[in-house]
Amino acid sequence: MIVRESGVGSRESVGRRTARFVARLARREDGVVTVLVALSMVALLGFVALVVDAGVLYVNRTQLQKAVDSAALAGAYDIGINSSSAGDASIYAASNGVSQLTGNQAATTFASGDSWTVSAKRTVPLIFAPILGIKNSVVTASATAINSPINGVPGSNLMPYAVWGGNSPVGLNTGATVDYRDNGWVDANVKPGPCGNNGSPPCNANWTSDSNDFKGFLRIDSGTIYQNGNVVSSGGNATGQEPIGDDGGTTTICDHVRLGTPGIFPVIGSGSGNGHVDLTIVGFIAVQMNPVRTCGGPQGMSNPFTGTVVNMTTWNGKVGGSTNSNFPVVRVLKIWQ
């Protein structure tokens, strides 16, 4: 029948239309994916460009910071020595690729003019940002270095011997020879010595201990030892406890002699105690130690241990100490901020 044939023809027409629709839909999805991929690539390239330019800025900022750090340290090193801080800071900055400083002057941290501050800036050409119209960016850096009398020394870095400095003048000027250990007990290690048992002079008012048990050795516990009031106990005869032999490091007398480096010693201002000796630290001094017998020198344990007072600047110590007119204090040089 014609009606039935028309029905078959209608079903075939619907199938063809469905196929064409599916084909068009597939073509449209391909287009959408292409657009999404293109947009994703733009975002990805933008992110890569941001990372690259940020890396360039970071590297330049790090280089600039190192330059001003070294310049600040160079300027601070001259404090109290000469008036070349500004010039030396500029020289060190230039040697690290910074030809012009935006700041180069003295600063105050604990005492007037005990620090030197330096600042600089650098214009950095960018790699990808010019696509967005940003050709360069500016990085800045600043640093302050301090040159201060030492206020505290880690116990592990301190030579555990007392240099007497309780009376003025004490003879601790640069170049002076000092005894820091003597088998003569109190009378040899404290100058002038305490009154004798009969109370006869010379008497030292800064020594009130009734003990004679002091050869110069101290018992220094771990932690930081501070000036101006820190009290430590003497070590008596300290048999087997003194840091004399070479241990291959930097902590014994022989280590310092071998390396040619001075040691940091506490300066003692007074002694007190009933039946023992408590010693009050008033500052720190640097001493270039002479060889003892263990280090190939002539002095044995029965002889005084001697050394020469020298100027010293270190990085390992607490800043903010005070000067002392009786001896050249150890100074600390470090980046403060």
User: Omega of the bond prior to 169 within 30 degrees of 0, cis?
Assistant: yes
Which residues does residue 284 pair with via DSSP β-bridges, in sequence order?
266
* CA 322 to the chain's CA centroid: 19
Predicted pLDDT at 212: 79
Nearest to 335 by CA among 107, 169, 173, 140: 107
Q: Is 80 left (phi over 0), alpha (psi -120 to 50) or beta?
A: left
DSSP structure class, residue 126 = -
Torsion of CA 69, 145, 333, 158, to 10 degrees: -110
pLDDT of residue 1: 42
- What residues of the chain score a pLDDT lower than 70? 1-15, 17-49, 168-169, 195-202, 221, 236-240
Indicate the pairing of strand 152-154 with strand 224-226.
antiparallel
Tokens 């690259």 found at: 52
Q: For residues 155 and 318, what is the distance between their CA atoms, to the nearest angstrom? A: 12
What is the rounded distance in angstroms from the CA atom of residue 146 to the CA atom of residue 317?
A: 12
pLDDT score for 8: 45
How many Å apart are CA 294 and CA 212, to the nearest integer?
A: 27
Cβ-contact 60, 122 below 8 angstroms: yes
pTM of the predicted structure, to 2 decimals: 0.78
Domain boundaries, the chain: 11-148, 152-332
Query: Which positions ≥6 away from 255 have C-beta within 8 Å?
Result: 246, 247, 248, 249
